[in-house]
Amino acid sequence: MQRLCWAAFLLVAFPLAANGQATDEAPANNQPSSKAGQGETPATDFQNTASQFLGKFCLDCHDSTDPEGDVRLDNLDVDLSVTETADSWNRIFNQVQFGEMPPEDETQPSADQRATFLRQLDHELTLHGRGFELDKKLLLPQFGNYIDHGKLFDGSVTEKPYSPARLWRQRPIIYDAIWGNAYGRAPWYSVKIGGTGNHLIARGPHKGKLMATRYFQDQKYANPFFEFVHHASGFTDYASIVADQSSLEALLVNAETMAQILTVGQKVRIVTQVKNKGSRTGNNEAMFVGGVTTTANEYRGRVPVIFNYIVKSAQPVTRDDFDQALDVAFALFLRRSPKQEEYEHYWRNVFQKNAELGNEMALQAVLIYVTLTPEFVYRMELGLGETDADGRRFLSPQELVYSLHYALHNKPAFGVDEIETIDVYTKQSEAPIQRTMTTPRPAWAAGHSALVKEMLAGKLKTRDDVERVVRQMLDARQNGWVTTHNRTYLSTTNPRILQFFREFFGYYKADEVFKDIDEFKKRDGFQQFVQGSASKLAYDTDSLILHILQEDKDVLKQLLTTNKVVSVYWNGKNDEQQVKRAGGAEKYRRTHPVQSYNLDPYEHAYDKDNHSDPQIRKNGQVFRAPAEQRCGILTQPSWLIAHSGNFDNDPVRRGKWIREKLLAGVVMDLPINVDAQIPDNEHQTLRERFQVVHESACWRCHKKMNPLGMPFEAYNHVGKWRATEQGQPVDASGSITLSHDDSLHQDVQNVLELMEALAESDLVRQSFIRHVFRYWMGRNEMLSDSQTLMAMDKAYVESGGSFKELLVALMTSDSFLYRK
């Protein structure tokens, strides 16, 4: 089994290095020579340098004398053009990368030694077409913790921070916000004549009859972008996610629809029913169903006057008219004016080449062309400002608008300046229908954001300007801290902040984990969990986080240790009708949603005069649970459910989350040839069934996860605290080991000890800050971001744990403001 496990580890391929950049401390003779870059380094040179590393750290276990796992490293070939040889070196790369080799009880290479060896090996593999392009892959979401954590925060890196110039694919939700209302819905009207409507027909065959209209919208577009979430990141908006072929195809279809709407109007279907003797009384606006039905299609809407003029003109379009139309097209889609060369390009290469198809088709071709340019599909962060002495370029004012606005919002930053428009129709409908169909202000004519107004006034150019507007945005009046299905995180002030915590903790996925609610009706400790409970518990956690952010003190510590819980769907009162509908007082108690937090609705009924806690007196939906039962977001039922299986807890998944999110660690993915099954035994606890992973074949990875996840066995798999399992006292002990901080290592007896230890750790705080950086920067850290990360850490600590100050430090940092 030991040999099989070692072989399985070697088979896993993770093409990435431990360090994002070469360091100044690396010995010069360990750097690839200039000849190496040209593919001329003899294999013997590589053999000499590689053998030094292997000889010092690996050959004690893997030489010809009883090699561990039958893996010998003393006789490796260095001809990397041979597939088998390259594969062997690739497996060595992965083991060193993951810290699996050398083993923890052997002499370990320093971070620089490890990084230098991996870079040199990658260089040699690249010469033979088998390398990893490390610097690029280090920016991908699944490789977030591979840079040495210590070097990011110890001050040894003095390079000035920047971000690589990039195109950042449009966020799906922002595309919806731009497209959905303006171009993406096909409306239709239901018209009923002769019922109990509120419009009197003034002319025609139905003069004197009442008419009722109802308006419907059907989504008629496909969002071309997808929401990619890598399990190791959890974040949905990385700049490395590109628009693929399917995205471009959907963009083209949408662009054709958009071009038609802006030139000839939106096609509207009107379904008319006239009441007759066969009509029946119905529960609808006109109070009848059936009758004589007719269907008509009309074009309607407001289109730019210049577009309408070009479409209707029978004469060749003049250059002046075309330039005016292109101004409108750029304003609508790119939120800027065309450059001189763009006027020429679109006139000669697009409009004129399609002119033989008619003015309408030629103009639509121009609109389609504009909407398929990278500038419409991507956010451009090239750094169009001044270049400094280090070759870094400051973001231009327009780039700053996009970066800052999209950091906190999920809606367009730019509106459209007033454009002269005209209503278009293809038929003359009844006057009430025409009044309903009139669109005095198109959806795309929304106003500019406050940031755009600052930019237009010339007040968004410097770092001081950025800090001023960021503070204004963060100080915006909050519109409450309770979220529900009617008021989700998207409705909150600066919604991207709560979205960060949803994606960081991942508790919003609770609704995606199947739970057998029919079976729960028979089981104590589960009867409170019904259809919709998972979603409601996630709203509880949303609200708790907003409550903590509102106070903005020791935010991370509060998130990890608070015993407050929020129940947004209970106001603290036991309404008699609710009790009756539940089936009586006892059933009401057992099935009440606050039972998920081990609270009794009768014992915790809200009475503001009897609460000693002033915060709870003020907020009737906030309660305090016993400290030993609830300790932070990781003991919220929503988090426990999201990180559980369908029918049981999952200490592996929970421990892996802590290892990666709070301890800046890495755990190898499960090899494809390993069947990770825990035996079923209804007479054993889950901890007892997990004893199988303590075999050395499995424990190499599980030791990084299980000791961190086992304390959560104090809860069942729908998040309710329990004292016993299978008739035995719950063993919730665990330990913190194998982290970057030896002082953190300790045994813990329960989840309270675990969370309090983590909450006091500098490593945990810094790991959290790294995730804040990734979410708002859309990429992983590079070593050159060290100064930014340290400034963020300093701002957070010195402000007493203010999340606002943490964001200010990030958004005014060189990493945020400069491109290179």
**pLDDT score at 530:** 95
Cα 181–chain centre separation: 23
In terms of Cβ atoms closer than 10 Å to its own Cβ (0-12, 13-18, 19+), residue 312 is exposed
**DSSP bridge partners of 268:** 298
Maximum distance among all Cα pairs of the chain, rounded to whole angstroms: 104
Question: Which pTM does this prediction carry?
Answer: 0.83
What is d(CA 775, CA 496) in angstroms, rounded to the nearest whole number? 10
What is d(CA 247, CA 238) in angstroms, rounded to the nearest whole number? 16
pLDDT bin (cut points 50, 70, 90) of residue 438 is low
What is d(CA 772, CA 796) in angstroms, rounded to the nearest whole number? 12
49: alpha, beta or left? (left if phi > 0; alpha if psi -120 to 50) = alpha
**pLDDT score at 447:** 81
60 or 210, which is more confident?
210
**pLDDT score at 296:** 85
**Could you give the angle at the alpha carbon of 210 between the alpha carbons of 204 and 212, nearest 5°?**
110
| Residues 481, 548 contacting (CB under 8 angstroms) | no
pLDDT tens readout for residues 549-579: 999 999 999 999 999 999 999 988 888 998 9
Tell me the mean pLDDT in the region 332-338. 89
Smallest CA-to-CA distance from 791 within 769, 774, 765, 809 is with 809
For residue 388, CA distances in Å to 76, 171, 209, 459 come to: 48, 30, 74, 21
Is 50 exceeded by the pLDDT of residue 42?
no
Cα 447–chain centre separation: 27
Cα 206–chain centre separation: 55
Is 60 exceeded by the pLDDT of residue 641?
yes
382 or 8, which is more confident?
382
**DSSP bridge partners of 565:** 623
**pLDDT score at 609:** 53
- Which sign, positive or negative, has the C-alpha torsion 121, 122, 126, 131? positive
Token pair for 263: 């030139």
Tell me the mean pLDDT in the region 12-19. 30
Is 60 exceeded by the pLDDT of residue 40?
no
| Residues 378, 170 contacting (CB under 8 angstroms) | yes
332 or 108, which is more confident?
332
290 or 754, which is more confident?
754
Calculate Rg over the CA atoms of the chain: 32
**pLDDT score at 649:** 94
Token pair for 642: 């999201």
pLDDT bin (cut points 50, 70, 90) of residue 598 is very high
What is d(CA 721, CA 524) in angstroms, rounded to the nearest whole number? 12
Any idea which residue has 């406050």 for tokens? Answer: 450
**Window from 247-251, 342-346, 533-537, 778-782 with minimum mean pLDDT:** 247-251
Which residue spans within 111-184 are E strands per DSSP? 166-169
**pLDDT score at 99:** 66
Is 80 exceeded by the pLDDT of residue 131?
no
DSSP 187-245: EEEEEEESSS-SEE--SSTTTT-EEEEEEEEEE----S------TTT--S--TT----H
pLDDT bin (cut points 50, 70, 90) of residue 2 is very low
| Residues 394, 385 contacting (CB under 8 angstroms) | yes
Rounded percentage of the chain residues whose pLDDT exceeds 90: 49
Token pair for 398: 């327009």
Count of CB atoms within 10 A of residue 550's CB? 11
**Could you give the angle at the alpha carbon of 660 between the alpha carbons of 655 and 662, nearest 5°?**
85
What values do phi and psi take at 262, rounded to 5?
Answer: -80, -10
Residues whose CB falls within 8 Å of the CB of residue 517, separated by 6 or more in sequence, listed in order: 529, 530, 531, 533
Smallest CA-to-CA distance from 256 within 383, 165, 360 is with 360
Is 50 exceeded by the pLDDT of residue 16?
no
**pLDDT score at 423:** 84
Smallest CA-to-CA distance from 362 within 342, 377, 347 is with 347
What is d(CA 123, CA 663) in angstroms, rounded to the nearest whole number? 30
**Could you give the angle at the alpha carbon of 116 between the alpha carbons of 115 and 122, nearest 5°?**
90
pLDDT tens readout for residues 71-89: 777 777 777 778 888 778 8
Rounded percentage of the chain residues whose pLDDT exceeds 70: 87
Token pair for 465: 């300007």
Any idea which residue has 């994606």 for tokens? Answer: 503
Residues whose CB falls within 8 Å of the CB of residue 812, separated by 6 or more in sequence, listed in order: 463, 466, 467, 470
What is d(CA 255, CA 260) in angstroms, rounded to the nearest whole number? 9
| Residues 68, 6 contacting (CB under 8 angstroms) | yes
Task: Give me the torsion for CA of 754, 755, 761, 763, rounded to 10°.
Answer: 90
**CB neighbour burial string for 692-708, b if at least 16 within 10 angstroms, e if fewer:** ebeeebbebbbbbbbbb
For residue 758, CA distances in Å to 145, 505, 642, 656, 703 come to: 18, 15, 21, 15, 18
What is d(CA 95, CA 77) in angstroms, rounded to the nearest whole number? 18
38 or 504, which is more confident?
504
**Could you give the angle at the alpha carbon of 101 between the alpha carbons of 97 and 107, nearest 5°?**
115
What values do phi and psi take at 234, rounded to 5?
Answer: 85, -10
353 three-class SS: helix
pLDDT tens readout for residues 675-732: 667 777 777 887 877 777 767 667 777 889 999 999 999 999 999 999 999 889 999 9
Taking the CA of residue 77 as centre, how many other CA atoms within 13 Å lie in the half-sphere pointing to its CB?
Answer: 10
727 three-class SS: coil
pLDDT tens readout for residues 455-483: 999 999 999 999 999 999 999 988 888 99
Taking the CA of residue 123 as centre, how many other CA atoms within 13 Å lie in the half-sphere pointing to its CB?
Answer: 24
DSSP 244-311: -HHHHHHHHHHHHHHHHHHHT-EEEEEEEEE--TT-B--SSTTS-B-SEEEEEEEEESEEEHHHHHHH
Any idea which residue has 């956010």 for tokens? Answer: 379
**CB neighbour burial string for 712-729, b if at least 16 within 10 angstroms, e if fewer:** bbbbbbbbbbeeebeeee
For residue 98, CA distances in Å to 389, 513, 545 come to: 37, 30, 34
Is 60 exceeded by the pLDDT of residue 202?
yes
pLDDT bin (cut points 50, 70, 90) of residue 12 is very low
What is d(CA 803, CA 494) in angstroms, rounded to the nearest whole number? 13
Task: Give me the torsion for CA of 428, 432, 437, 441, rounded to 10°.
Answer: 120
Is 90 exceeded by the pLDDT of residue 348?
yes
AA identity, residue 533: S
108 or 11, which is more confident?
108
Is 50 exceeded by the pLDDT of residue 14?
no
DSSP state, 532?
T
Residues whose CB falls within 8 Å of the CB of residue 636, separated by 6 or more in sequence, listed in order: 507, 537, 540, 541, 544, 565, 630, 719
AA identity, residue 287: M
Smallest CA-to-CA distance from 570 within 495, 508, 484 is with 484
**pLDDT score at 472:** 97
Is 50 exceeded by the pLDDT of residue 41?
no
pLDDT tens readout for residues 300-313: 888 999 999 999 99
Token pair for 578: 């609710």
What is d(CA 290, CA 119) in angstroms, rounded to the nearest whole number? 76
